[in-house]
Amino acid sequence: MSTPAANVTTGRRGLWRWGVALVATVLLVVSGSGLVAFAQSGAGESRGPQFVPADAPIYIEARLDMPDGQGEALAEFLTAFPGFADTGTFEMKADEIVDGLVSQVTGGALSLSGEMGDFLTGEIGLAMMDVAEAAMANDEPLILAGIAISDREAAQSFVDLLTAGAGAEATAEEYGSTTIVSDSTNAVAVLDEWVLMSQDAEQVKAGIDVLEGNAPSLADDPEFGAAFARVPSARLGAAYMDLQSFGSLIDLAGTMASGQAGMALPTEGLLSQLPTSMVAYLAAENDRLTIEAFITPSEETMALPLGQSDLAAVFPADTQVYIETRELGANLETLLSGLLETIDEETAQQIAPIEDMIGVPLPSFLDFVSDAGVGAAMNSDGLWLGIAAEVTDEATAAARVERIMSIIRLVGASSESGIAIEETTIGDNIVNVVTVPIEDAAAGAGLPIDIGDTISVTVADGTLLMGTGDFVETALTQSSVDSLGASAGYTDALGDDTTNAGVLYADISALLTAIDPLIGLMVPEWSDIQPYATGLDRFIAVGSVDDEVISSRMTVIASQ
């Protein structure tokens, strides 16, 4: 049973709310830049979920102790950026940055390395409670934060210092083996291994109940355990989300769409396809940072098409942005068919002439396409864009291309259109070169980029090729060893994920070099940002499916 105690009335006002501010500051630092360095005491095993109630839909943890060499890896990664060239000064610089932030929050009264550094272990956990209910009520969700400690007495002294500034508003309440100090907006309690904080004392009590074995913990939930087991011990942070708990929000969205726009959303189908849960982590290596998410699908969750493609071998090695997707034709057909089912009769009548021209229903026009890739780059000759798509039926692909060329010839018959088609031969392949007034339109719009005025199209060796500039010619004549698919930058970023559900790749360094003059014109602060931006080399996002778990990895690679 809990019993109220006397009010805490001692003097230093403002320190109480700084406790919450400090937690927010630490979380911001580690999630935004990961600059905090503790004494590398982390053993990799997360204690955080131990204080979290089993019904928490979201759990987030920050590992400021940087277990399993994460501190050294992050220090090496940061050498690509100004001010961190010497890994030996990383911890000192990190302490200075964080102490500066904390000092700013507290008006210079506290420092992280001083008052807090003696008892923090470096692990912070944060549980968000009643998220869906709060969203439906247009309210903020309740948060239960846990700060792992190594010295209860030192932590208690620090909390006493904070709560001494709360004034007459605060009350102290004995609960279990500890004391909860709270006011109308905050509550805090110190236990053997944790400082628990929330906006609501009832949430702190729930955390105490979990730690003292009087209520179930999220750490003991089998589904959470199975999901979190995929997270490596070497990490800077991790997050877990019970996706099924957000079903009520989908129902609400359907009700609102029906009431406001008169559109009925298929919420029942969406709910049945909602995945079970998601877990994600952030980890550092010497030259890169990776965020990877694992999604556990439900029995009805739509399966992702998975495959391995040689499309990257079609694009030149200096491609700066590249996107690859699976089963494009089938996915577009499903999407467009669903959209056409919702249109009215008048709109359907407007689409009918288009379908007559192309000779097939609109959703089926690209049904011969399987995997597809899109690439682009800027160089001294201007901007080029290329599309390459594997085709399942080359004769159908050629017939559909000819349909489009016939329509373009018809449109180009007008002397004022500026549109024309010529045929050229590259090797054994006939290429349609379409001239369109793109360059004039770009100049009229004030774009300082040369994009050319021709688009080349052909179907060759089971691949539909279309692009501006020399893309098609390069794709037909270059050796695969000179391609993006064989380049060291792309293969290093892709790693072992050669069989995947799709890829997004960017050569950040080359792209920034190409567009630097444009950014300088559009962003006045670019000269201050540029030294940090040029520390980035490449980026990749790649999706996959393994053991019936959907994974999505995003990696940013630093210049070394």
Q: Of 194, 209, 242, which residue is a domain's last? A: 242
Residue 324: how many other CB atoms lie within 10 Å: 24
Whether 382 is in a domain gets the answer yes
Residue matched to tokens 């400082």: 195
What is the enclosing helix (H) or strand (E) of 500? none
pLDDT at residue number 560: 76
**Structural domain contains residue 78:** yes
Residues 351 and 216 in one domain: no
Domain containing 554 equals 303-558
Q: Tell me the C-alpha distance between 166 and 197, whole Å.
A: 15
Question: The tokens of 482 are what?
Answer: 């000179």
Residue 225 within a domain: yes
pLDDT at 546: 80
- 57 touches 246 (CB < 8 A): yes
- At 290, list the tokens: 């990776």
Q: 3-state class of 303 per DSSP?
A: coil
Same domain, 329 and 238: no
User: Do 217 and 327 share a domain, yes or no?
Assistant: no
Would 257 be classed as within a structural domain? no
- Is 283 a domain residue? no
Domain-ending residue, one of 223, 242, 261: 242
Measured distance between the N- and C-terminal CA atoms of the chain, rounded to whole angstroms: 60
- Residue 289 maps to a domain: no
Q: Is the dihedral of CA 480, 486, 490, 491 positive or negative?
A: positive
- Residue 167's pLDDT is 59
**Residue 238 has what pLDDT?**
95
Same structural domain for residues 209 and 320? Answer: no
User: Which DSSP state fits 316?
Assistant: B
Token pair, residue 266, equals: 């298929």
| Residues 311 and 181 both lie in one domain | no
Residues 546 and 420 in one domain: yes
Asked if residue 268 belongs to a domain, the reply is: no
Q: Are residues 311 and 226 in the same domain?
A: no
Domain-located, residue 16: yes
**Considering only CA atoms, which of 185, 217, 186, 231 is closest in space to residue 68?**
231
Residue whose structure tokens are 């380049």: 487
Q: Determine the length of the chain.
A: 560
Burial letters for 118-147: b for 16+ Cβ neighbours within 10 Å, e otherwise? ebbbbbbbbbbbbbbeeeeeeeebbbbbbb
- What DSSP letter does each residue of 309-334 carry, written as one string? --GGGGSBTT-SEEEEES-HHHHHHH
Q: What is the 3-state secondary structure (H, E, C) of 454-496?
A: EEEEEEECCEEEEEECCHHHHHHHCCHHHEHHHCHHHHHHHCC
- Number of domains observed in the structure of the chain: 2
Q: Reduce the DSSP state of residue 384 to 3 states and report it.
A: strand
Q: Is 424 helix (H, G, I), strand (E, B) or coil?
A: strand
Same domain membership, residue 317 and residue 184: no
Q: What is the residue-level pLDDT of the chain in tens, covering all 560 positions?
A: 333 333 433 333 444 454 555 555 444 443 333 333 343 444 556 677 999 999 999 999 988 888 899 989 998 999 998 888 777 767 666 667 666 666 665 555 555 555 566 788 888 899 998 877 776 667 778 889 998 998 999 889 888 877 776 555 778 899 999 999 888 788 899 999 999 999 889 999 999 999 999 999 999 999 999 999 999 999 999 999 998 887 766 655 555 544 444 444 555 556 667 888 999 999 999 999 999 999 998 887 878 888 999 999 999 999 999 999 999 999 999 888 878 877 778 888 888 888 888 999 999 999 999 999 999 999 877 889 999 999 999 999 999 999 999 998 888 777 677 788 999 999 999 999 998 876 665 554 455 567 778 899 999 999 999 999 899 999 999 999 999 999 999 999 999 999 999 999 999 999 998 888 778 777 888 888 888 889 999 999 999 988 779 999 999 999 97
Residues 227 and 310 in one domain: no
Q: Which of 199, 223, 242 is the last residue of a domain?
A: 242
The answer for residues whose C-beta is within 8 angstroms of residue 472's C-beta and 6 or more apart is: 386, 426, 431, 456, 457, 458, 465, 466
Q: Extract the runs of DSSP E, i.e. beta strands, from 226-296.
A: 237-242, 277-285, 288-296
> Do 351 and 500 reside in the same domain of the chain?
yes
Task: Indicate whether 427 and 533 sit together in one domain.
Answer: yes
Residues 370 and 456 in one domain: yes
Q: What's the maximum distance between 2 C-alpha atoms anywhere in the chain? A: 92
- pTM of the complete model: 0.84
364-401 CB burial, b ≥16 within 10 A, e <16: bbbbbbbbbbbbbbbeeeebbbbbbbbbeeeeebbebb
